[in-house]
């Protein structure tokens, strides 16, 4: 019996089924009997546990009630305190999405309110959190998905058919092809292939004045034969090249967590924008980014999803940044398990829990090696936080201003939480550059943050991101006001390495006053202004109204290590030690060559595991 017939056999006789369809890895049953739809059917639980598939019952469009009427019913049913923001219909899925600031109050105790809405309206309901800070990116993505719902239904049907009904060949090999970030950092990309499927994990750029991209021109890579793309997290060196695939004919899905989808949209759009502004151009257009959104499928941590006829993916928390994930690929029925770590931090930070370790089985672990060298040890987070607060307070108390150059995503939000949760901290913190948009996306997904933060937000009603100390700098005029003000304050601004952007504007005006402090909290790449100042330059050439000027650096300059989103050498080793299942083979990637080799050597010595350090373009046979 095929799977569709098995589902049919498990449904109540009076369900009045109008359609059974695959939607991605899920099976959706459309019924005309409203009672089957609204009933808390035990038959569903029985089917799910028998077939090991997600099954959803939706109403046939003929029984859904009038949309305007339903809108009123929902508005009346939901308590004022829920903060209802938006009600959107997707007739193609017989689905209505309710966006509210407090989704819990829409769902009600034990799901009671939501059940009532379902039975009063005969619509499938989804509840989403509205960002506490208005986010244009989140709004745009949700709009694209709603606008394209007809397309999405067909797209998901096609993927489902391919997963469930394709003729499966026997899997007598599994291979990994190194397409980028092997013995280097940047342009992360690898292909995993079997006789039935081809999947790539990450597709990044190596940003520099002459950017480098993954090796997609080789015969082993065929864009038309690609089944799926999986993105570990939203940094450009992991996702910056992904939209290119959609510019050149890829029409399959891109899997990631929801925060990764949203942050990657923000960062890739900015990447296109910078390319155009600075004349270098970019390898794809904003249209490609929009196409990627249209083809996106999001997964929660721990959600198991079939993605090809012989591969199943699960994403788990990596602790590196909001939404960052380890990718677990299960190949065949118990044949081979791969874990690709992406970037990960095996230490609790204010923002995230440490990396997930509880995998049932791993045969091949593909680990990052950024801090793989024997001497790459970082100070602890607690020490770093204490040093940050000490430096900030000393500056503010002497009447100075603190400038923290930061990337828009992750480090900036980490700094915000450290300051906002500091007792009695009452100075203004100005946020300038794209980091405001990134923060807005953060407020959409508290479920992806550390337990401590979630406790604060959900149980104490205190969201550090909404603290009154934070002020957005939204224009050149507002920037001037901050620069001219005599009040002590903190400024967090992009770019993180002082290469253009508002951070350089602040530096120009803050540098000569010795009361002020410049704090480096992230890595400064060779050749950047940040690296030069770190090395002790006391006079820096800058531009002012088109003219070159020399600015004296009299302000205090400090470097605070320990905020890295990566695991240091000790944490990399202790991560492998703590994994529930000891991998049979470890492949070291994403690190300078010597660091990858060094880490591989240490892993082999400590754990007696086979280690490999492939070069770009090599293929390794895993099975
Ligand atoms: Zn990263």
CA-CA distance, 142 to 252, in Å (whole number)?
A: 19
pLDDT at 289: 97
* 196-205, 322-331, 536-545, range with the lowest pLDDT: 536-545
Confidence tier at 254 by pLDDT (50, 70, 90): very high
Cα–Cα distances (Å) from 557 to 3, 258, 496, 526, 541, in that order, read 65, 38, 15, 18, 17
Question: Is-contact 505 498, C-beta < 8 A?
Answer: no
**What angle do helix axes 502-510 and 476-484 make, rounded to 10 degrees?**
20
C-alpha 429 – ligand 1 centre gap (Å):
26
Domain 3-62 top-level CATH class: alpha beta
Dihedral Cα 178, 181, 184, 187, nearest 10 deg = 130
Ligand 1 centroid, distance to 569 Cα (angstroms):
16
Q: Which residue has the tokens 């007739």?
A: 91
pLDDT value at residue 527: 84
- Closest by CA position to 23, among listed 48, 51, 57: 57
Residues sharing a CB contact under 8 Å with residue 183, sequence separation 6 or more, in sequence order: 591, 592, 593, 596, 613, 614, 615, 616
pLDDT at 43 over 90: no
Chain length of the chain: 623
Cβ-contact 229, 192 below 8 angstroms: no
- Is pLDDT above 70 for 557? yes
- Of the candidates 417, 515, 398, 406, the one whose C-alpha atom is nearest the C-alpha of residue 466 is 417
Rounded to the nearest angstrom, the gap between the alpha carbon of residue 243 and the centroid of all alpha carbons in its chain is 15
The burial class, CB within 10 Å (0-12 / 13-18 / 19+), for 177 is buried
Query: 233 C-alpha to center of ligand 1: Å?
Result: 7
Whole-number pLDDT of residue 40: 65
Interval between CA 320 and ligand 1 midpoint (Å) = 7
Residue recorded with tokens 């980028």 = 180
Cα end-to-end distance, the chain, whole Å: 31
Residues of the chain with pLDDT > 90, as a percent, come to 87
As a whole number, mean pLDDT of residues 407-411 equals 91
Ligand 1 centre from 46 Cα, in Å?
A: 41
Residue 243 to residue 250: CA distance in whole angstroms: 9
Return the pLDDT at 13.
Answer: 87
Same fold across 3-62 and 64-130? yes
CB 286 within 8 A of CB 272: yes
Q: Which of 35-49, 284-298, 301-315, 566-580 has the lowest mean pLDDT?
A: 35-49
Averaged pLDDT of the chain: 94
Q: Which residues contact 167 (CB under 8 A, 6 or more apart)?
A: none
- pLDDT above 80 for 209: no
User: Residue 165: pLDDT above 80?
Assistant: no
Categorize the per-residue pLDDT at 38 as very low, low, confident or very high, splitting at 50, 70 and 90. Answer: confident
β-sheet bridge partners, residue 256: 298
Q: Which ranges of 217-257 does DSSP label H, i.e. alpha helix?
A: 236-239, 242-247
Q: Which residues pair with 432 in a beta bridge?
A: 473, 493
Q: From ligand 1's centre to the CA of 345, what distance in Å? A: 10
Query: Quick one: tokens of 144?
Result: 């694209």
Q: What number is the average pLDDT over the span 127-136?
A: 94
Measured in Å, residue 142 CA sits from the centre of ligand 1 at 25
Q: How many Å lie between the centroid of ligand 1 and the Cα of residue 344?
A: 8
Residue in 569, 559, 468 with CA at minimum distance from that of residue 519 = 559
For ligand 1, the distance from its centroid to the CA atom of residue 235, given in whole angstroms, is 5
Average pLDDT over residues 204-225: 92
pLDDT tens digits along 74-122:
999 999 999 999 999 999 999 999 999 999 999 999 999 999 999 999 9
Q: What is the pLDDT of residue 1?
A: 65
Cα(297) to centroid(ligand 1), Å: 21
Query: Does 547 score more than 80 pLDDT?
Result: yes
pLDDT band at residue 269 using 50, 70 and 90 as cut-offs = very high
Q: Which CATH architecture has domain 64-130?
A: 2-Layer Sandwich (3.30)
Rounded Cα gap, residues 522 and 541, in angstroms: 22
In the reported structure, the alpha carbon of residue 389 is separated from the centroid of ligand 1 by a whole-number distance in angstroms of 25
CATH fold for the domain made of 151-166+173-375+566-621: Metallo-beta-lactamase; Chain A (3.60.15)
Tokens of 61: 């469009």
Percent of the chain with pLDDT over 70: 99
pLDDT greater than 80 at residue 166: no
Instruction: For the chain, give every domain's residue range.
Output: 3-62, 64-130, 151-166+173-375+566-621, 381-559
234 CA to centre of ligand 1 in angstroms: 7
- Ligand 1 geometric centre to CA of 410 (Å): 10
Strands (DSSP E) found in 166-217: 175-180, 189-193, 198-201
Number of continuous H segments (helices) and E segments (strands) in the chain: 21, 28
What are the DSSP calls for 317-361, one per residue?
E-SSSTT-EEEEEEETTTTEEEEE--S---S--SS-PPPP---S-
Contact (CB, 8 A) for 345 and 565: yes
Q: How far is the CA of 146 from the centre of ligand 1 (A)?
A: 30
Beta partners for residue 128, in sequence order: 99
Residue 246 has pLDDT above 80, yes or no: yes
Residue with tokens 């089924």: 17
Reported as a pLDDT band with limits 50, 70 and 90, residue 51 is confident
Location of structure tokens 């019924």: 31
Give pTM, 2 decimals.
0.95
> Ligand 1 centroid vs 136 CA: distance in angstroms?
23
Which structure tokens are listed for 2?
């095929």
Yes or no: domain 381-559 corresponds to CATH 1.10.4160.10: no
Using 50, 70 and 90 to split pLDDT, how confident is the model at 45? confident
Task: Give the Cα-Cα-Cα angle 133, 97, 32 (nearest 5 degrees).
Answer: 175
**CA 204 to centroid of ligand 1, rounded, Å:** 10
pLDDT of residue 481 exceeding 80, the answer is yes
Helices 136-147 + 435-442 axis angle, to 10: 60
C-alpha to C-alpha distance for 266 and 437, rounded to whole angstroms: 8
Question: Which residues make beta-bridge pairs with 612?
Answer: 587
Distance CA 28, CA 157 (A): 10
pLDDT of residue 148: 95
Distance from Cα 335 to the centre of ligand 1, integer Å: 30
Residue 141 CB neighbours (<10 A): 21
Question: Who contacts 477 (Cβ-Cβ below 8 Å, separation ≥6)?
Answer: none
Phi, psi angles (nearest 5°) of residue 116: -65, -40
What's the rounded Cα separation, in Å, for the pair 485 and 49? 64
Please give the average per-residue pLDDT across 192-207, as a whole number: 96
Provide the CB-side half-sphere exposure for 475 (13 A, CA).
Answer: 3
């Amino acid at each position: 019996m095929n799977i569709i017939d098995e589902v049919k056999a498990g449904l109540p006789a009076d369900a009045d089924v109008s359609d059974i369809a695959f939607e991605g890895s899920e099976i959706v049953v459309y019924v005309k009997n409203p009672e089957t739809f609204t009933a808390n059917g035990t038959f569903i639980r029985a089917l799910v546990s028998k077939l090991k598939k997600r099954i959803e019952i939706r109403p046939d469009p003929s029984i859904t009630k009038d949309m305007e009427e339903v809108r009123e019913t929902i508005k009346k049913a939901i308590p004022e305190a829920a903060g209802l923001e938006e009600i959107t219909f997707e007739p193609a899925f017989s689905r209505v999405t309710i966006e509210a600031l407090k989704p819990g109050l829409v769902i009600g105790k034990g799901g009671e309110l939501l059940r009532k809405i379902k039975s009063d309206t005969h619509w499938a309901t989804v509840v989403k959190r509205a960002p506490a800070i208005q986010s244009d990116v989140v709004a745009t993505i949700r709009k694209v998905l709603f606008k394209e719902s007809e397309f999405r239904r067909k797209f998901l049907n096609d993927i489902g058919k391919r997963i469930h009904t394709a003729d499966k060949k026997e899997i007598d090999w599994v291979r990994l092809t190194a397409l980028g970030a092997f013995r280097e950092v940047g342009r992360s990309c690898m292909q995993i292939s079997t006789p039935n499927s081809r999947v790539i994990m990450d597709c990044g750029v190596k940003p520099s004045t002459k950017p480098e991209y993954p090796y997609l021109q080789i015969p082993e890579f065929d864009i038309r034969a690609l089944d799926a793309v999986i993105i570990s997290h939203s940094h450009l060196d992991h996702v910056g090249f992904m939209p290119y695939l959609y510019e050149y004919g890829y029409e399959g899905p891109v899997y990631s967590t929801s925060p990764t989808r949203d942050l990657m949209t923000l960062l890739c759009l900015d990447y296109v924008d910078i390319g155009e502004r600075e004349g270098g151009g970019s390898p794809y257009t904003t249209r490609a980014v929009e196409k990627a959104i249209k083809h996106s499928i999001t997964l929660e941590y721990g959600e198991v999803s079939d993605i090809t006829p012989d591969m199943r993916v699960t994403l788990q928390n990596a602790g590196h940044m909001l939404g960052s994930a380890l990718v677990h690929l299960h190949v065949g029925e118990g044949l081979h398990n791969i874990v690709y770590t992406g970037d990960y931090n095996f230490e609790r930070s204010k923002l995230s829990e440490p990396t997930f370790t509880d995998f049932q089985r791993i045969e091949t672990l593909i680990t990052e090696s950024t801090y793989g060298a024997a001497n790459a040890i970082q100070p602890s987070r607690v020490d770093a936080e204490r040093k940050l607060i000490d430096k900030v307070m000393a500056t503010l108390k002497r009447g100075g201003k603190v400038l923290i150059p930061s990337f828009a995503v992750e480090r900036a939000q980490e700094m915000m939480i450290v300051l906002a949760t500091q007792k009695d901290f009452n100075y203004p913190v100005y946020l300038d550059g794209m980091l405001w948009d990134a923060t807005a996306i953060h407020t959409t997904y508290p479920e992806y943050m550390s337990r401590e933060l979630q406790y604060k937000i959900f149980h104490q009603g205190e969201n550090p991101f909404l603290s009154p100390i934070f002020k957005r700098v939204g224009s050149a005029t507002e920037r001037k006001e901050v620069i001219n003000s005599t009040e002590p304050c903190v400024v967090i601004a992009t770019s993180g390495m002082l290469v253009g952007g508002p951070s350089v504007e602040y530096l120009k005006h803050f540098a000569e006053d010795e009361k002020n402090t410049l704090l480096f909290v992230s890595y400064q790449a060779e050749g950047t202004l940040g690296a030069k100042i770190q090395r002790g330059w006391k006079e820096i050439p800058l531009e002012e109204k088109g003219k070159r000027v020399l600015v004296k650096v009299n302000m205090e300059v400090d470097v605070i290590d320990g905020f890295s989103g990566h695991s240091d050498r000790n944490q990399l080793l202790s991560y492998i030690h703590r994994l529930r299942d000891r991998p049979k083979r470890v492949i070291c990637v994403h690190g300078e060559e010597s660091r990858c080799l060094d880490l591989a050597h240490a892993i082999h010595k400590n754990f007696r595991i086979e280690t490999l350090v492939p070069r770009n373009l090599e293929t390794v046979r895993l099975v």
